[in-house]
């Protein structure tokens, strides 16, 4: 089953493929610099392709998928669980069911409507009861009671997400995360 093509993802992965610097930075584990590099060079073009929130959501998902794979961090992306589509689960749904405190759920809402975002957080709280383990990637700064990252050119707090994920993963007792020492 292949994923359907998306012009934003295609543009992102074409940029990554053509960049010699990104593969060098991957080997050096400089994930924040990679994210800043991608945002600096792709953001304007990508947000012109669709509504800003949609574009940023697709960009964030693509970047996270690429970097989590390259950082050797276990994750599941776009997975259905108890009737909800989860954007990203670290490490996986099986761990979420067994031990919620060892599992991170990352929400990438393709909206900046606070009501929609809060509704989604409320739904996620039913399967991930530990609020600190629900993180959100936003296109604009919005106050929520979850840890959030903003993916934008001006206030790009999203750049540190891989380090925060690695830190979260390394805090637990699970040795399978010790591969990445950031």
CATH class for the domain made up of 7-173: alpha beta
Q: Among candidates 61, 162, 43, 62, which has minimal Cα distance to 108?
A: 61
- At residue 5 the predicted structure's pLDDT band, cuts being 50, 70 and 90, is confident
Distance CA 89, CA 168 (A): 13
Of 119, 153, 157, 180, residue with least CA distance to 37: 153
Report the DSSP pairing between strands 147-150 and 84-90: unpaired
Q: Which of 162, 138, 146 is nearest to 56 (CA)?
A: 138
Is the pLDDT reported for residue 41 higher than 60?
A: yes
Residue 155's Cβ-count burial label (10 Å; 0-12, 13-18, 19+) is exposed
pLDDT for res 72: 84
* pLDDT top residue among 169 and 88: 88
| Banded model confidence at residue 101, pLDDT cuts 50, 70, 90 | very high
- DSSP calls for 119-165: HHHHHHHHH---GGGEEEEESS----SSEEEE-SSSS-GGGGHHHHH
Domains of the chain, by residue range, sit at 7-173
Indicate the burial class of 2 (C-beta count within 10 angstroms; 0-12, 13-18, 19 or more). Answer: exposed
The CA–CA distances, whole Å, from 162 to 62, 88, 114 equal: 13, 13, 25
- The pLDDT tens digits of the residues spanning 109-149 come to 988 899 999 999 999 999 999 999 999 999 999 999 899 99
pLDDT bucket at 172, cuts 50 / 70 / 90: low
Please write the tens of the pLDDT for every residue from 46-58.
Answer: 999 989 989 999 9
pLDDT digits (tens, 9 = 90+) for 16-30: 999 999 989 999 999
């Amino acid at each position: 089953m292949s994923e359907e093509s998306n012009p934003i993802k295609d543009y992102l992965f074409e940029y990554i493929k053509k960049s010699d610097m990104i593969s060098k930075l991957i080997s050096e584990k400089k994930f924040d610099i990679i994210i800043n590099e991608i945002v600096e060079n792709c953001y304007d073009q990508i947000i012109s392709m669709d509504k800003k929130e949609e574009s940023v959501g697709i960009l964030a998902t693509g970047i996270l998928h690429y970097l989590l794979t390259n950082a050797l961090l276990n994750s599941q992306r776009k997975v259905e669980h108890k009737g909800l589509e989860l954007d990203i689960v670290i490490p996986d749904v099986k761990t979420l069911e067994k031990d919620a405190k060892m599992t991170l759920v990352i929400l990438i809402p393709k909206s900046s409507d606070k009501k929609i975002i809060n509704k989604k957080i409320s739904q996620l709280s039913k399967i991930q009861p530990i609020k600190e383990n629900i993180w959100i990637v936003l296109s604009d700064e919005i106050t929520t009671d979850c840890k959030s990252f903003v993916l934008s050119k001006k206030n790009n707090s999203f750049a540190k997400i891989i380090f925060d994920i690695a830190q979260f993963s390394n805090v637990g007792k699970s040795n399978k995360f010790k591969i990445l020492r950031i």
